[in-house]
Amino acid sequence: MSKYKVCVVGGHCSNRVIIVAEQLTEYFEKQGIDCQVFTHLAASEYGFPPRSNLILQLLPAFNEEEAGVPVINIKPLIGDPLHPATIEKILKQIRADYPM
Amino acid sequence: MSSRIYLDYCSTTPVHPSVRDKMLRVLDADFGNPSSMHWAGKDSRQLIDQSRADVASGIGCQPSEIVFTSGATEADNLALFGILRLFPSNEAHLITSAIEHHAVLHAAHRLEQDGYSVTYLPVDEHGLVNPEDVRRAIRPETKLISIMYVNNEVGSVQPIAEIGKIAHEHNIRFHTDAVQAVGLFDVNVDDLNVDTLSLSAHKIYGPKGIGALYLRAGLELAPMILGGPQEHSLRAGTENVPGIVGLGAAMNHVRQHRAEERVRIMELRKSLIDRLRAQAPEVIVNGLEEATAPHILSISFVGADAEMMLIRLDGEGIAVSLGSACNSKSIEPSHVLTAMKLPQEQIDSTLRFSLGMPTTKDEIDVLLDVITSVLPRVTVQ
């Protein structure tokens, strides 16, 4: 079974999206969630949804219809890496997709 | 993808063919060092003299009052450092505004680090400096007031002549960054009561890498770049002759067309705003209509994510710019929109559209169509 893939989507700023992805990776590890987190910049790869099991986006780049996978907006994580409501939404989706 | 539409003329402008032709001629034939005493040097010197006269004509000053620089950033730095550094740091005070271009703001920050005192004046919700705030900020040791003419993000046109009058009543030098004004406004340094003024070629259909500082006759300035006696010993280094010729040609071009362009661009602006408001009533046009430069439109699409909107517009071939920038840890809101005390949601949804001489009604039509299709897709859930 291939690893559950989580894509963090940003706009232009690679630094910001990398930082959020690293924070999420660290959080998932602490939670014992075995998944692969990678990044995608909408500005440089316009119009091509990343291939993943879950899209976490810092800006409204994709909708679920075009992405074909669940999409969660995670903008609040920029200011608060553990923003409770956003983290809860992410965990709920991962647990639903990938029971642990 | 539709054909490409450029609406970011505040960032830079394309080089006009008449400017390019003159520059190519210089690159091909006039290679002499203007300081040389032989024919090749004299030819280059003559070209510089002509451009100096052309630039001077564009802002109503004498050719001898023009100092060529590498651009407006250097011109702003030369004005601020050049004037303040004539005085001991504990005896000199600078007044500027919170919405200046970083060429002024970062220079002011450095002056503060060097021990000079600086007052950053606030602006109102339209991005305007109140001249009475300037008057109140004046101290006995104030040596320079620096207020930009047209703000590059929201287009607010500052009451420069009035501020200059206040400065001169107190015997204080007055600088203005007129980068966004020269292309469309009939700039006259005497009418504006300015002592120094910066301008840039690439904002007026000239090349990048060349600008100028107007320096009122008789005013002293400490040079920043030391070396040869070029530019009245105020800016050493062999002159960028093709660039200088390009700046002169660009100034001639805008001077001939800016009055009619001002009217034409004003009409395009009005059409864009009226139709946008009809299509999307929630949009906010930042700035006070009667005190905003016609070519700059700062528009907040409240509820939308401006960065995603920019990406989608770019995907459709439309180039505009963002009101905010990001750094490694956060979205850095525009210092101008922040100084105007706009709500964060409004700042995050702001795009800048800037029109130029090549902008057409057809382009505005396409822009409106694309905005209509893009807007629902960039709304923050």
User: B202-260, pLDDT tens digit by residue?
Assistant: 999 999 999 999 999 999 999 999 999 999 999 999 999 999 999 999 999 999 999 99
CB pairs under 8 A between A and B: 53
Looking at chain B, the domain(s) classified CATH 3.40.640.10 span 17-254
Res B374 pLDDT > 70? yes
CA distances from B260 to B15, B116, B184, B254, B363 (A): 19, 44, 9, 10, 19
Contact at CB, B326 and A43, closer than 8 angstroms: no
Region A81-91: mean pLDDT is 94
Q: How far apart are CA B373 and CA B381, in angstroms?
A: 17
The confidence score (pLDDT) of residue B328 equals: 43
Average pLDDT, chain B: 95
Whole-number pLDDT of residue B326:
56
pLDDT of residue B180: 98
Identified catalytic residue from B29, B325, B326, B380: B326
The answer to whether B332 touches B282, Cβ cutoff 8 Å, is no
Which of the residues A9, A14, A16, A77 would you substitute to probe the B interface, choosing the one with the greatest number of B C-beta atoms within 10 Å? A16
What residues make up the domain containing A30?
Answer: 4-97
Class (C level, CATH) for B5-12+257-377: alpha beta
Tell me the residues of chain B between 269 and 328 that have a Cβ less than 8 Å away from chain A: 305, 307-308, 310-312, 314-315, 326-328
Mean pLDDT of A72-96: 93
Residues of A in contact with B312 (CB under 8 A): 46
For residue B278, pLDDT beyond 70: yes
- Percentage of the residues of chain B whose pLDDT score is greater than 70: 97
Topology classification of domain B17-254? Aspartate Aminotransferase; domain 2 (3.40.640)
- The pLDDT score that the predictor gives to residue A1 is 55
B39-79 tens-digit pLDDT:
999 999 999 999 999 999 999 999 999 999 999 999 999 99
Whether residue B326 and residue A42 make contact (CB cut-off 8 A), yes or no, is no
Predicted pLDDT at B51: 98
B1: confidence class by pLDDT, cuts 50, 70, 90: very low
CB contact under 8 A, B326 and A13: yes
Choose from B311, B344, B380 for mutation: most chain A CBs within 10 A.
B311
Contact (CB, 8 A) for B357 and B257: yes
| Interchain CB distance below 8 Å, B329 and A60 | no
Confidence of residue A98 (pLDDT cuts 50, 70, 90): confident
Q: Where in chain B is the domain with CATH 3.90.1150.10?
A: 5-12+257-377
pLDDT digits (tens, 9 = 90+) for A37-74: 999 999 887 777 888 999 999 999 999 998 999 999 99
* CATH classification at residue A9: 3.40.50.2300
Number of structural domains (chain A) is: 1
Q: What percent of chain B has pLDDT over 90?
A: 93
Taking an 8 Å cut-off on Cβ atoms, the answer to whether A11 and B314 are in contact is: no
What is the pLDDT averaged over residues A22-39?
Answer: 93
Output the pLDDT for position B193: 98
C-alpha–C-alpha distance, residues A98 and A7, integer Å: 15
Cβ-defined contact of B326 to A19 (cutoff 8 Å): no
Shortest CA gap B12–chain A (Å): 20
Active site residue B61: no
CA distance B292 to B149: 11
d(CA A67, CA A50): 8
